[in-house]
Amino acid sequence: MAASPRFLTLADVAEVLNTSSAQVYALVRRGDLVAIKIGGRGQWRVEADQLEEFIQRMYAETRTFVDQHPFVEPAEEADAPID
């Protein structure tokens, strides 16, 4: 069994996150996802551990958002007052 690569391309990260390479590039350029730029053509690479940390951070931020913005079931039409 082959070991997982230490570094991923932006396309690899996009596949893991089920999003576009452009979205991953935006995450990297904003500093939301830590990456390195290598080579003369400036190819971006994301360390697998950094991707996992990003995912865990997004889970935590989502939990906070959900806690602060609880989902409220819409009122049933039958229960709604009649004007």
Domain spans, the chain: 7-68
Does residue 34 contact residue 46 with C-beta atoms inside 8 Å?
Answer: yes
Does residue 58 contact residue 50 with C-beta atoms inside 8 Å?
Answer: no
CATH class of 7-68: mainly alpha
Minimal CA–CA distance to 12: which of 41, 50, 60? Answer: 50
Quick: pLDDT tens for 9-68.
999 999 999 999 999 999 999 999 999 999 988 899 999 999 999 999 999 999 999 999
Concatenated DSSP letters for 13-67?
Answer: HHHHHTS-HHHHHHHHHHTSS--EEETTTTEEEEEHHHHHHHHHHHHHHHHHHHH
Look up the pTM and report it. 0.78
